[in-house]
Amino acid sequence: MMAQNRVREIRSRVGMAQKDLAAQVGVTRQTISLIEKGDYNPTINLCLNICYALGYKLDDLFWVDEGKRRS
């Protein structure tokens, strides 16, 4: 039950490279890469910083598929 996200889609739409987004939110490029890959579970503060950098809100960028929620 890993959260889904639209970070890659929105980032490239905005025309930003991973390293630019990483620099702007204060993490490494690898962290952005792994988040986009969906391989893990960022903290809410990092998610908020990504939202600020891309100009979107939490619910635009992060969600969980209905079927995959814990019961």
Partner DNA sequence: CTCCAATGTAAAATATATATTCCATTTGCC
Partner DNA sequence: GGCAAATGGAATATATATTTTACATTGGAG
Contact yes or no for 29/19 (Cβ under 8 A): yes
- Kindly give the pairing relationship between strand 62-63 and strand 4-5: antiparallel
Residue 23 interacts with its own copies (CB under 8 A): yes or no: no
> Among 17, 58, 60, 68, which residue interacts with DNA (rule: CB under 7 A)?
17
Sole residue written with tokens 């809410």? 44
27 SS3 class? coil
User: Residues interacting with its own copies, by CB under 8 A?
Assistant: 1-3, 25-26, 41-45, 47-49, 52, 57-59, 62-64, 66, 69-70
User: Residues interacting with DNA, by CB under 7 A?
Assistant: 12, 17-19, 26-31, 33-37, 40-43, 46
